[in-house]
Amino acid sequence: MFKLRKYYLPHLGAIALALLLLFIQANLELALPDYLSKIVNVGIQQGGIESALPENLDREQYAQIKADTNLAPVLSAAYEEDGTSYRLTDRGRAVLEKDNIKKYAFLRACLAAAGADPGRLQSLYILRMGAIMLALTLASALTTISVGFIAARVSASVARDIRLDLFRRVESFSSTEFDTFSTASLITRSTNDITQIQMVSFMIIRMALYAPIMGVGGVIRALGKAPSMAWIIGVAVLFLLSFVGLIMSMAMPRFKIMQKLVDNLNRVSREQLSGLLVVRAFNRQDFERDRFDAANKELADNNLFVMRTMVIMMPAITLIMNGLSVAVIWVGSGKVAAAQMPIGDMMAFLQYAVQIVMSFLMLSMMFIMIPRAAVSAERVAEVLGTEPVIFDPEKAESPPMGGKTILEFRNVDFSYPGGEERALSGISFTAEPGKTTAVIGSTGSGKSTLVNLIPRFYDVTGGEILLNGVDVRRLKQEDLRRRIGLVPQKASLFSGTVASNLRYGDESAGEEKLNEVCETAQVMDFIREGERGFERPVSQGGSNFSGGQKQRLSIARALVKPADVLIFDDSFSALDFKTDRALRRSLKESTADRVTLIVAQRVSTIMNADQILVLDEGKLTGKGTHRELMEHCPTYREIVLSQLSLEEAENL
C-alpha cells in the first residue's frame, strides 16, 4: 500500500476531516455510558437529586424532617443548633456520605420540607439525561454517515485514479511487457486487485483510524470509573489478541496466494472461451472442463479454508465478550454490595469494556484484510512501476513532411528478449511509395517480426529503420504510428457498428470516404445486403462476421486512415482468389502515393509485387521481382513450386 501513497496525497484534507469527525464520534459514543451511569446513580438511586447536603436548615424545616422517626436520629447526629438555624457538622457530613441510603432519603426529606416534589424532580432528571443521550446518539449517527461518505468518496477516487493510471501504463506497454504480464493477470490487476485496494482504503478510514481512538478513550474512561477492575479488560484483550493471532497465522498464507489463483482461473477461462471452436473441433470439452474444474477447485478450496478459519472467530469472540460481561458483573456486583462502587458506574464500566474489546476486534479484522490488499497493491504497483523498454526520445525529431515517403531497413538485426538466437539478421531494403513490397517465407522465418519493427512494437537490436531518412527510434511513437496503417495478422473488430469500426482510423471520415475504401476493400457487397448499411451492428470481436469479412473490414479501416505507410500482415489469407485479386487490383490504384508492404503465405497474392523479399530463418535470401527470384533464388522457387506447378508459376 505504501507504494501507492501518491494516490492518497490529494485526499489528505478529506482524510484529516474524517479523522476529526472520528474523534468527535468517539467522544460522543464514549459519553453515552457516563450518562447511563448518571441515570442509574442519580436519576434512580438518588431520585434525580444532584445537589449536595444542605449546610443550614431553618427551624421549620428541621421540625418537619424530625417528624419522620426514621430520620430523626440522623438529623440529630448531623446538625447542631446555631442561633436561629441548624448547621451541618463535619461529623454529620461524614456519616451521611458514608451511608448513601440514609443520605438520599435525608435529601428527599429536605426537598419535601423546602416545598419541592421529589417524584417530579426524578422524572425531569431522567428525561433530561435521556434527551442528552438521544442528542448524542443523533450527533454520532450524523458523524458516522459523514465519515462513511468521505471514506467512500476517497476510496472510490483513489481506485479510479489507480485504474486510470494502470490502463494508461498498459497502453504504453510494448510487446516485450505483454510477454511479461499475461492478459488474464492484467485484467485481474485492473479489476479485482483494485477493488481490494478500494475496499481496504474505505475500511482503514472508517475503522482502522476509529478503533485506536475508541480503544484509548475507552481505557481512560474505564479507569476513571473503576481502576481496580482494569485487569478484567486486560485479560479479555489478551485472550482476543492471542486467538486472532492464531487465526491470522493460519489464514494469512492462503490470503497471499488468493490473487494468483484468481489469475490462474481467469487465464484458463480466457483460453477456453477464445479457443472454444478448437475445443469443440477436437472433442476436448471433457478435458477442458476438468482443467477448469481443477483451477476452480483450487481457488474454492483456498477460499473455503480461509472462510472456515474465519467462521471460528465469531463464536470465539462472542464467548470472550460474554465472558467479559460475566466477569465485570461478578466482580462489580461484589463492589456494589460492599458500597465500593455505585451500580451505575459498574454498568458504565461494562459498556466501556465492551467498546475497548470491540476496538481491538476491529483492528484485528483490519490486520486480516490488509495483507490481501497489500498483495493486490504490490501487484498493481508492479505494473505501474514497469517502465516500457520502448519510449519516446527526450528530443524527438520529425520526418520531413511533403513529397514522397521512403521506408528503409538498413542492416537490421533483432532478437526477442531472452532469446538466444536472432529472429532477424542483416535485413536491408528500401520500400518506395507507389510500389508494393511483399514479404514471403516459410513459417517462423520472421515475416511478422519484420513488419512489427516498423511501428516500434519492438525495437531493433542492431541496424536502423529509417522513415524519410530519420531513424524511427528518434520519433515520437504517436507521430510514427499516425503515419502507419496496419492490418494485423489476426483481424480484430470492436463492438459497435461498421461505421464506428471504419472511423477508428479517422473519426472525421465522411460517408463518401467510407464508400470509397469499402469499394477498394471489397466489402460493399455485404454492407449493402443489410438494411442498416454502415450502421450494421458489430458484436464483440466481430463474432457476427465471417473471417473474410473481418479481414476486409480491417483492410478498409486501415485505408480510411491517412497513413503514408500501409502494412498488410497476412491480411488476405481468408479471402478467395477472386476477391483477393480484385482487392489487390483496387489497392494498387488507391495506394499510388503510399508505401505498401504485404506479408503473405500465398504466392498468388504477392507475385505481382514490385519488390519481393524472401526470408529464411531470419535472413534475407532473395530480393527482386517474381521472375528474377524464380531464376536466382532457390528458396523462393521452392516456395512457389510447393503451391503452383512450374507451368502456372511461369505463366502468371
Fold of 404-483+564-579+594-652: Rossmann fold (3.40.50)
What end-to-end distance do the CA atoms of the chain give, in Å? Answer: 66
Same fold, 404-483+564-579+594-652 and 488-562: yes
Stronger pLDDT, 403 or 278, i.e. the higher one = 278
Question: Distance (Å, rounded) from C-alpha 499 to C-alpha 484?
Answer: 20
Q: Model confidence over 10-43: pLDDT tens digits? A: 999 999 999 999 999 999 998 998 888 888 877 7
**Nearest 10 degrees: CA dihedral of 212, 214, 219, 224?**
150
pLDDT of 4 > 90? The answer is: no
What CATH architecture applies to the domain 2-41+123-384?
Up-down Bundle (1.20)
Stronger pLDDT, 30 or 2, i.e. the higher one = 30
State the pLDDT at residue 114.
61
Stronger pLDDT, 454 or 603, i.e. the higher one = 454
Residue 277 grid cell: 471452436
CA of residue 77 relative to chain centroid, distance: 76
What does the pLDDT average to over 572-601?
80
State the pLDDT at residue 509.
84
Where exactly are the structural domains of the chain? 2-41+123-384, 404-483+564-579+594-652, 488-562
State the pLDDT at residue 157.
94
Q: Which class for 512: exposed (0-12), middle (13-18), buried (19 or more C-beta within 10 A)?
A: exposed
Stronger pLDDT, 115 or 517, i.e. the higher one = 517
State the pLDDT at residue 20.
94
Confidence of residue 100 (pLDDT cuts 50, 70, 90): low
Confidence of residue 402 (pLDDT cuts 50, 70, 90): low
Among 250-254, 491-495, 542-546, the range scoring the smallest mean pLDDT is 250-254
State the pLDDT at residue 73.
77
Q: Which residues of 88-109 are buried (b: 16+ CB within 10 A; e: fewer)?
A: beeebeeebeeeeebbbbbbbb
Stronger pLDDT, 275 or 141, i.e. the higher one = 141
Q: Model confidence over 279-289: pLDDT tens digits? A: 777 788 888 88
In 3D, which of 594, 555, 587 has the Cα closest to residue 574?
A: 555
Q: Model confidence over 57-75: pLDDT tens digits? A: 777 777 777 777 677 777 7
* Averaged confidence pLDDT in the chain: 83
Residue 146 grid cell: 459523514
Q: Model confidence over 325-355: pLDDT tens digits? A: 888 888 888 888 776 788 888 888 888 888 8
Question: Distance (Å, rounded) from C-alpha 187 to C-alpha 263?
Answer: 8
Q: Which pairing describes strands 79-82 and 56-58: parallel, antiparallel, or unpaired?
A: unpaired
pTM (two decimals) = 0.74
State the pLDDT at residue 137.
93
pLDDT of 638 > 90? The answer is: no
Confidence of residue 403 (pLDDT cuts 50, 70, 90): low
CATH superfamily for 488-562 is P-loop containing nucleotide triphosphate hydrolases (3.40.50.300)
Most confident of 416-420, 579-583, 617-621: 617-621
